[in-house]
Amino acid sequence: MVNKTTTQDKILDAAEQLFASTGFADTSLRQITSMAQVNLAAVNYHFGSKKELIQSVLQRYLSVLMPRLDQEFSQLLASQKQNDLTAVLSVFIKPLLELNKVQHHGTRMFLQLLGRGYTDVQGHLRWFFNHHYGRTLDKFVLLVQQACPDLPASEIFWRLHFSLGTVVFTMASNQALQEIAAADFNENVEIEGVIHRLIPYLAAGIASPLTLASQTH
């Protein structure tokens, strides 16, 4: 037997694709099982419920990505040299692009899914993520604080969430954006190109000087 894909994997692959393009709420189990060419009941048999299927789809990527990120963060924290913001943000690039190895269109799909996960959110995904990977996130925040010693913690909080918005939104609507860019500017940017445009934008925003306005409000 060559290259036997299990029922679980067929479901995960189909679900991933449909969730990314249609969202979690607007994708039915019947769509998923039909595309995966498995029986409807297989989802509940193998994953328990739709909610657990959603988590499994994300977990397939997160379980690879997050330990890698954690390791990179720890390494940067250990090296005592002064890290600038661009360097800290660039840590994401390699681990993210390596997701293409776990699945065919790994990076793009995963980021799009992550976008969906944060916007469709009813709560359980947010909890799931913080519960499993909160420690890793803390290391990242610490690195940003070290790179921006002049910014108060509250300001960094807001700016990191602003940045999260940029990333999440860009990735959730990545496909549409790339199509527009291709049509309007004859630009064929892969996901890698978007990431490289993103980092200087984010770095400039996060490190922007404190203004009088932002202090008095």
Binding of residue 200 to its own copies (CB under 8 A):
yes
Cα-Cα end-to-end distance for the chain: 66
Interface residue with its own copies among 26, 45, 49, 94 (CB under 8 A) is: 26
Tokens of 122: 């009813």
Binding of residue 154 to its own copies (CB under 8 A):
yes
Q: Which of residues 31-50 bind its own copies (CB under 8 A)?
A: none
Tell me, what DSSP letter sits at residue 125?
H
- d(C-alpha 55, C-alpha 53), whole Å: 5
Tell me, what DSSP letter sits at residue 48?
S
Pick the closer one to DNA by CB: 31 or 86.
31
Pick the closer one to its own copies by CB: 12 or 96.
96
Binding of residue 172 to its own copies (CB under 8 A):
yes
Q: Which of 211, 215, 173, 184 is nearest to 23 (CA)?
A: 173
- d(C-alpha 30, C-alpha 123), whole Å: 24
Pick the closer one to DNA by CB: 55 or 170.
55
Note the residues at the interface with its own copies (CB under 8 A).
23, 25-26, 118-122, 153-155, 157-159, 161-170, 172-173, 177, 180-181, 184-185, 187, 189, 192-194, 196-209, 211, 213-214, 217
